Structure 1
Amino acid sequence: MRIVVLTGSGVSAESGVATFRDRNGVWAKYDWRRAATPEGFAADPAFVHAFYNERRRALPAVRPNAAHYALAKLEKELAARGGSLTLVTQNVDDLHERAGSKNLIHMHGELMKARCGACYSVHPWKDELSIETRCPVCDHAGAMRPHVVWFGEIPMALDAIYEAVTSADLFAAIGTSGAVYPAAGLVGEARAMNIPCTELNLEPSENAWLFTDSRYGPATKIVPRWVEETLNGA
Structure 2
Amino acid sequence: MLDTVKAWVRQSQRIAVLTGAGVSAESGVPTFRDVQTGYWAQFRPEDMATEAGFRAHPQRVWDWYQYRRDLLAGVSPNAGHLALADFQRRHPDCITLITQNVDGLHQRAGSTGVLCLHGDIFQDRWLDTPRNCCFIDHAVAGHPPYCDRCGNLLRPGVVWFGEPLPLATLEAAEQAANQCDLMLVVGTAGAVYPAAGLAHQARAAGARVVVLNPAPSALDDAAHAVLRGTAATVLPQLLGD
**TM-score when normalising by structure 1:** 0.84
2:179 paired with 1:167: yes
Query: Residue 190 of structure 1 aligns with which residue?
Result: 202
Shift of 1:9: 0.9
Query: Residue 128 of structure 2 aligns with which residue?
Result: 118
Q: Which residue, 229, 232, 237 being the options, matches 1:217? A: 229
Return 5+ residue gaps in structure 2 as ranges. 1-12
Query: Residue 55 of structure 2 aligns with which residue?
Result: 42
- Over alpha carbons, which structure has the higher Rg? 2
Matched ranges for 1:135-214 at <5 A: 135=147, 139-141=149-151, 143-156=153-166, 157-214=169-226
**TM-score when normalising by structure 2:** 0.82
* Identity across the alignment (%): 40
Shift of 1:37: 1.6
Q: Which residue, 51, 55, 60 being the options, matches 2:68? A: 55
Return 5+ residue gaps in structure 1 as ranges. none
2:140 paired with 1:130: no
Distance 1:224 1:129 in 2: 42
Task: Give the aligned CA root-mean-square deviation in angstroms.
Answer: 2.4
Query: Residue 66 of structure 1 aligns with which residue?
Result: 79
* 1:161/1:200 CA distance change after superposition, 3 Å: same
Query: Residue 10 of structure 1 aligns with which residue?
Result: 22
Shift of 1:43: 2.6
Distance 1:122 1:171 in 2: 38
Distance 1:113 1:119 in 2: 16
* 1:129/1:6 CA distance change after superposition, 3 Å: farther
Shift of 1:218: 2.0
Query: Residue 91 of structure 2 aligns with which residue?
Result: 78
What is the aligned residue count?
218
Which of structure 1's runs of 4+ aligned residues deviate more than 6 A?
Answer: none
Shift of 1:88: 0.6
Query: Residue 105 of structure 1 aligns with which residue?
Result: 115
What amino acid is the match of 1:109? Answer: G
Shift of 1:143: 1.7
Shift of 1:123: 5.0
The worse-fitting range, judged by mean Cα deviation, of 162-171 and 32-41 is 32-41
Deviations 1:46-73 (A, max 9, x none): 3321221101112221111100010011
Deviations 1:190-220 (A, max 9, x none): 1111210011112121222111111111221
